């Protein structure tokens, strides 16, 4: 049943939303974001009312350090947090990165479980405890907002975990995070763990307990909510559930579960839920990680009603099959239908409606592509425009662009592709045969930009329905331990494929692939 009751909000019932999209999320294979993309995500998180943004791991690289520092400088409301291992150099670097923030936090962690103590660090319990005290103490000497995490807490002996938490509190931790690092816990078990710590550890009522649940068994959200019911008042989560392996608890699911079921979860968050759809789309675009169609809250089908019975019910009363309104998560009924007669003004309005703000040049490029699309496609849906603009934004800084592509395909063979690429402003053409049109196209790109990268994923989907739908292609390349994912869209699947491949290649180059494009060019 939909809960429409309005309650007076008690600060003790507030759940602090700690977003780790830019740290745990960004560190998962293939999800790397550029400096500008991280700033864009952070700006939206800040605007939507996320309480704490974990902006990165400053010691990990100069790039991470710079982005944490810039996010700290720009943030208006959120606490900006950086991650640090239990080592002085990490903690000092983190303190420097968060310095420009109005409110900054150092988040330091150590593995506490027997497996981590023995195999990761080869230390005994006493040494682990002394590192907890030293790391939290050092962080506390640099800032008064310190979070301490017991990595692999859910597989740590209860007595030892209590001693670690007690040591962290005594050394000055203001938040204690209990990660289910490997997504092993069951929901009751996780709630009991938080309850046990609150009952047994001296000083536990003085600090905030936090959850950080991974999704290896698909229980991350359930476990986090169980932690909240048991007394945790911070949840660590990520947009679209991004994170190591199967990911973290999905922010949108946590926030909407708390809001929708306030009858049994009498808590609240400061997140403006009408930003959730936009945030999901942004993170999907910058990481090139697609959102599963039936993903809760933000999946394409989350509010779609297909069967006759459901459609009939929803038309009579939305509450029959909807427990939340689409508007509450920022899904808007489209007010402008676009087609080949739509002009610049309508296109600009549509972009505004979809939440895009483009500079003049980017707008003109997007408009030209929109007109091209409207010429070949009768109905241009919002999803078409989003795919088109996302690609325009993603390729704005690219050194390599697809200028043209002609493909000969069919049963006769051999399949052939002739491609022209603009590389650092100059046009280069190559013709290649291949085992099918996609292979021929990719061979031609490889001939023009020789590289070692391995094609790890090639995936095609349709942006909308119908035979004139745009194809959206995802390509993942792997080189030197780096993974880059590119997306491309077009009504021509081969053009979308070439764009996706080139987009992934550009990302690898931007990350400093060993050879520069000039030296990679075929002579």
Of the candidate residues 21, 22, 23, 24, the single one contacting Zn ion (CB under 5 A): 24
Instruction: Provide, rounded to whole angstroms, the least separation between the CB of residue 430 and Zn ion.
Output: 44
The contact set with ligand KIV (CB under 6 A) reads 24, 109, 149, 151, 177, 179, 181, 212, 214
Instruction: Provide, rounded to whole angstroms, the least separation between the CB of residue 436 and ligand KIV.
Output: 42
Report the C-alpha gap between 393 and 345 in whole angstroms: 20
Q: How far, in whole angstroms, is CA 367 from its chain's centroid?
A: 28
Binds 116, which of Zn ion, ligand KIV, none (CB < 5 to 8 A, cut-off by type)? Answer: none
**Residue pair 259/306 in contact by the 8 Å Cβ criterion:** no
Report the C-alpha gap between 340 and 37 in whole angstroms: 32
Q: Which is nearer to Zn ion, 121 or 433 (CB)?
A: 121
Region binding Zn ion by CB under 5 A among candidate stretches 18-26, 45-53, 198-206, 421-429: 18-26
Binds 281, which of Zn ion, ligand KIV, none (CB < 5 to 8 A, cut-off by type)? Answer: none
Give 216's contacts (C-beta < 8 A, 6+ positions apart).
Answer: 182, 183, 184, 245, 246
Q: Which of 17, 59, 484, 97 is nearest to 286 (CA)?
A: 484
Instruction: Provide, rounded to whole angstroms, the least separation between the CB of residue 181 and Zn ion.
Output: 6
Binds 143, which of ligand KIV, Zn ion, none (CB < 5 to 8 A, cut-off by type)? Answer: none
Binds 278, which of ligand KIV, Zn ion, none (CB < 5 to 8 A, cut-off by type)? Answer: none
- Residue 499's SS3 state is helix
User: Dihedral of CA 258/260/265/271: which sign?
Assistant: positive
Q: Which DSSP letter does residue 23 get?
A: I
Q: Which is nearer to ligand KIV, 67 or 415 (CB)?
A: 67
390 is a contact residue toward Zn ion (CB under 5 A): no
| Look-up of token digits 């993603």 | 394
Instruction: Provide, rounded to whole angstroms, the least separation between the CB of residue 485 and ligand KIV.
Output: 22
Stretch 434-493 residues interacting with Zn ion (CB under 5 A): none
Instruction: Provide, rounded to whole angstroms, the least separation between the CB of residue 70 and ligand KIV.
Output: 22
Q: Which is nearer to ligand KIV, 243 or 486 (CB)?
A: 243
Terminal-to-terminal C-alpha distance of the chain: 67
Report the C-alpha gap between 233 and 241 in whole angstroms: 19
Q: Which is nearer to Zn ion, 24 or 253 (CB)?
A: 24
**Residue pair 135/147 in contact by the 8 Å Cβ criterion:** no
How many residues lie near Zn ion (CB under 5 A)?
1
Report the C-alpha gap between 224 and 75 in whole angstroms: 26
Instruction: Provide, rounded to whole angstroms, the least separation between the CB of residue 261 and ligand KIV.
Output: 26
DSSP letters for 109-145: EEE-SHHIIIIII---HHHHHHHHHHHHHHHHHH-S-
Binds 395, which of ligand KIV, Zn ion, none (CB < 5 to 8 A, cut-off by type)? Answer: none
Q: Which is nearer to ligand KIV, 64 or 386 (CB)?
A: 64
Instruction: Provide, rounded to whole angstroms, the least separation between the CB of residue 216 and ligand KIV.
Output: 11
The site for Zn ion (CB under 5 A) is made up of 24
């Amino acid at each position: 049943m939909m809960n429409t009751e309005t309650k007076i909000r008690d600060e003790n019932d507030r759940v602090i939303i700690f977003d780790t999209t830019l740290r745990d999320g960004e560190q998962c294979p293939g999800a790397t974001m550029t400096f500008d993309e991280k700033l864009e995500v952070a700006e939206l998180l800040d605007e939507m009312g996320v309480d704490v943004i974990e902006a990165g791991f400053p010691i990990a690289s100069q790039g991470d350090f710079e982005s944490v520092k810039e996010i700290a400088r720009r943030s208006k409301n959120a606490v900006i947090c950086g991650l640090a291992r239990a080592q002085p150099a990490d903690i000092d670097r983190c303190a420097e990165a968060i310095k420009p923030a109005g409110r900054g936090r150092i988040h330091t962690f150590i593995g506490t479980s027997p497996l981590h103590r023995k195999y990761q660090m080869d230390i005994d319990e006493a040494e682990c405890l002394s590192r907890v005290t030293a790391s939290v103490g050092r962080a506390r000497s640099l800032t008064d907002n310190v979070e301490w995490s017991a990595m692999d807490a859910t597989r740590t002996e209860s007595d030892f975990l209590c001693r670690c938490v007690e040591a962290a509190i005594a050394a000055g931790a203001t938040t204690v995070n209990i990660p289910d690092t490997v997504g092993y816990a069951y929901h009751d078990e996780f709630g009991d763990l938080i309850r046990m710590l609150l009952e047994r550890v001296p000083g536990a009522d003085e600090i905030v307990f936090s959850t950080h649940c991974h999704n290896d068994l698909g229980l991350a959200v359930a476990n986090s909510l169980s932690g909240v019911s048991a007394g945790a008042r911070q949840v660590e989560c990520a947009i679209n559930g991004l994170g190591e392996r199967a990911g973290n608890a999905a922010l949108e699911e946590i926030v909407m579960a708390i809001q929708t079921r306030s009858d049994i979860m009498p808590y609240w968050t400061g997140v403006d839920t009408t930003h959730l759809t936009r945030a999901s789309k942004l993170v999907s675009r910058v990481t090139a990680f697609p959102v599963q169609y039936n993903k809760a809250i933000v999946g394409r089908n989350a509010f779609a009603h297909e069967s006759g019975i459901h459609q009939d019910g929803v038309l009579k009363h939305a509450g029959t099959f909807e427990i939340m309104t689409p508007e509450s998560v920022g899904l808007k009924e489209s007010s402008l239908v676009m087609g080949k007669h739509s002009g610049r003004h309508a296109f600009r309005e549509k972009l505004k409606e979809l939440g895009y703000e483009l500079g003049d040049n980017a707008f003109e490029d997007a408009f030209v592509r929109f007109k091209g699309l409207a010429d070949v496609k009768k109905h241009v849906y919002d999803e078409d425009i989003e795919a088109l603009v996302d690609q325009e934004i993603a390729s704005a800084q690219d050194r390599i662009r697809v200028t043209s592509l002609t493909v000969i395909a069919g049963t006769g063979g051999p399949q052939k592709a002739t491609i022209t690429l603009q590389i650092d402003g100059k046009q280069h053409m190559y013709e290649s045969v291949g085992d099918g049109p996609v292979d021929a196209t990719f061979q031609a790109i490889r001939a023009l930009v020789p590289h070692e990268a391995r094609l790890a994923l090639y995936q095609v989907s349709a942006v909308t329905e119908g035979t004139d739908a745009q194809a959206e292609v995802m390509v993942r390349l792997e080189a030197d331990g780096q993974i880059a994912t590119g997306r491309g869209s077009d009504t021509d699947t081969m053009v979308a494929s070439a764009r996706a491949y080139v987009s992934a290649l550009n990302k690898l180059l931007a990350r400093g692939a060993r050879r520069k494009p000039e030296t990679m060019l075929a002579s």
